[in-house]
Amino acid sequence: MPGGRPRSFDADTALDRALEVFWRHGYEGTSLTDLTAAMGINKPSLYAAFGNKEELFAKVLARYLDGPGAYSAEALDAPTCREVLERLVHGAVDLTAGQNTPHGCLCVTSVHARGPDAHAVRQDAVAARKAGEAALRRRLEQAADLPSRYEPAALAALVHTICDGIAVQAAAGRGHDELRQIGDLALRALLD
């Protein structure tokens, strides 16, 4: 029964192109023209495949979270508390100051999209951030080796705050190696 002209582009690679653009220029700094140019499709194709700009961004954010941002969940599988935090901090540095990717974190830049049309987008980013922190808190609650001076919730919040700071620094132009040193210093202060 179905038929119809087949799609001339791959939806996943198109999403990856959109991710690159949103990541580099932010939600508000990205126009539909930027998107269609990068994705290699026209506006009607974009709308048919992904909905409007907001919905496209939601799909892009999801792809970001379980692509480049997947380290954040995977870090929780590390055996020791120290290793979990190391992987989170080092992962944040690598993600936000990578060589072949835009600088900064999509989830952090999107929190700062505060124009009238960016409400939904900001909410999406805030929700993703809350989920990530809650996961870390649960991991720390069940840790046998958490230093006794820390409450899980408080440490989880602080670690996420430090990772946010790293993302800001990366977005402001600080390079990977310098950020790595900052991260290591933070880890030492927290755990030694």
Partner DNA sequence: CAAGTTTTTTACCTATCGGTACGTTACCTC
Partner DNA sequence: GAGGTAACGTACCGATAGGTAAAAAACTTG
Taking contact as CB under 7 A, which single stretch among the options 1-9, 17-25, 82-90, 174-182 is the one that binds DNA?
Answer: 1-9
- Residue 12 binds to DNA (criterion: CB under 7 A): no
Residue among 35, 55, 27, 22 at smallest CA distance from 112: 27
How far, in whole angstroms, is CA 106 from its chain's centroid?
5
154 binds, among a copy of itself, DNA, none (CB under 5 to 8 A by kind): a copy of itself
Residue 142 near residue 165 (C-beta atoms within 8 A)? no
- Which of 126, 137, 138, 142 forms a contact with a copy of itself (CB under 8 A)? 126
Listed in sequence order, the residues at least 6 apart from 89 whose beta carbon sits closer than 8 Å to its beta carbon are 159, 162, 163, 166, 183, 184, 186, 187
- Residue 182 binds to a copy of itself (criterion: CB under 8 A): yes
- Which of 19, 21, 22, 30 forms a contact with DNA (CB under 7 A)? 30
- Which of 15, 17, 20, 45 forms a contact with DNA (CB under 7 A)? 45
- Which of 16, 49, 78, 164 forms a contact with DNA (CB under 7 A)? 49
Quote the CA–CA distance of 109 and 91 in Å, as a whole number: 17
3-state SS class at 67? coil
Return the number of the residue (43 or 114) whose C-beta is nearest a copy of itself. 114
Name the token pair of 133. 């922190």
Binding site for DNA (CB under 7 A): 1-9, 30-34, 41-45, 47-49, 52-54, 117
